[in-house]
Structure 1
């Protein structure tokens, strides 16, 4: 959520920030509601002051035996006028909030300009694109040939965009998630959390998923939401909370299934398990101070990069441009992995600094060691990484000409010493 004081202070700058994302100016409409709210509240305060004065006048008149009918009539009229002004102010505030809550975060000045992913900037690449001595297969070709990836049964059970993994591939998926979680908790200082997979409206709103992205989520019949990522419940730890500065940064991680409706993705990645309604992901969340959030963003991204490096994958860090940066993010790094079967780079992790955008929506603050008052937190989130896409990358990178798949060394202990699937 945006700070209305910043809109008041420099409406032109606010509109210029929206223009970077290709959004029309909005400050005039927002400030009109803000002015209506403030005017109504001022008038209400003035009438309350008059009512207080009338109460004193009535008391004095009664003590002197005077007639108070006119004063009492005026007090009743003021009460009704104040109620109407309260309604006016509340409606103006609702309209103001409705305008603000659907506007994306202000971008960091360093975010590259550009309308779409073609303007994203590759910052660096790790490893060389592998050159295989045979025509590489895509993950679904490998998985189906092995009899360990079953899309037909998944469709029969649940419909399109679901996958059944069996045997060694199911074990490999589980090993990837367990290994990533251990890496982040044992070496990167994240605290593991087991979180609810269902959240209420307040947490979904606070993490900027509502109201704008309701169609991307699955909703239960009792009004809860299946999580699209563990970012939502983990960041929700800060909702309506004042955290002592000494407890920051708070670094959290979780391995959870994620659920997404994939609204608007008809025709995209229909083969295989790149774009699913349900998938596993290791999520990293940091809750911290404004002074720490820039370095935390770099640190979080390096933690995700470590996963890909230790798996022996070829990857690159990409700085997303203005038109490709997500709604809640001030700046985002995507990590893309090379998929030999697709002969393409595909996103496998996205690490974002939302600054105080989410904290304002969920009223998450911290108490500074020095100084008075409480300050809004900064929140960050990143994939550490998407387990299904890591499975795809391992399958395609470590495939052999005969269709078997080598297992990366770091995963072999979890796989019972197994070195190959085939």
Structure 2
């Protein structure tokens, strides 16, 4: 069988894609929305030996699979094409399957290929070798470094001036990314009722955007991150902006921050790394960091329902190792059971869709520099991940929830909190 004949056996008719393969054969309509180029036996091997999103991702980031089509100009076009492509495959008969495997073997497309460099699997090998359990402090540090220590220069290409790697909050549909990120910090600052003289703990603080926003308004803020590169960048920016007396970003596990009695805690994009089974410990710990009457804002990606993340797929292997998601109901329940009265929650999934759109466009505009900094496989990986994430928020595969809670006083009162929401939305 030729590659074209294999495709015809595997794709549900009518074939919506044009396929052109390394053996010179082709199939599918010439005027198709997308053309799929299988450029090498190695690329086909990735797909054949790891069926599903992981195999397609490996073929794409190594150049073994190329896509062509005018719709790819849209930020999520590549992921839309790959997802549609995966959805077209069907299971052939036993006899046809045997013919396919013989043909793949003959053309050298059943060889186990090396894990692409962009997968950064060294952290996992080290964790297994050292016997580190999921979400131990040592393994969490390795996981965070694998994702966030790609290089500050690379992140600067698509995150914008605020260097904020979490969902923005758009005051209008045509607002700029930087304005929307600052508006997000404004919203969280007001939800937490922060004022001059208060103390804020921002865990998983990234490059220190929330810390610096609060410090500029007279709040003494401490941030903690497991990325050394983030901490160094943030401390340099704090010094540059003259905020040393009020702001500090530490290269430190949030569980090791010794201070207590904070007026507020913000967790912006950290809970995804904690593990659902550890939610009770997480919220109990953060409640212990607050003074009675203190507020906590949890900002994280969620599912539309309360199932847990399946492991081993593209996101788990390539982007957020050990990451876990669930629904906002699970988060609210754990906050209620472990030290908080929940005051408010809201879903910002369309804001994250716009945020990812802007990151994709920035990466596209700076593509050549990105490839020069991190190499084409890693640049392709990040582009595919962000495009896929935008698609996910657009189609309600994932959401983004804010959940606001208060640590009640000893008499179970809220102290001086207003009865209704007090911030401007």
> What interval of TM-score do these two structures reach, taking the shorter chain for normalisation?
under 0.3
Structure showing greater relative contact order (alpha-carbon pairs closer than 8 Å, 6 or more residues apart)? 1
TM-score by length of 1: 0.26
Q: Could you say which structure has the larger radius of gyration?
A: 1
TM-score by length of 2: 0.25
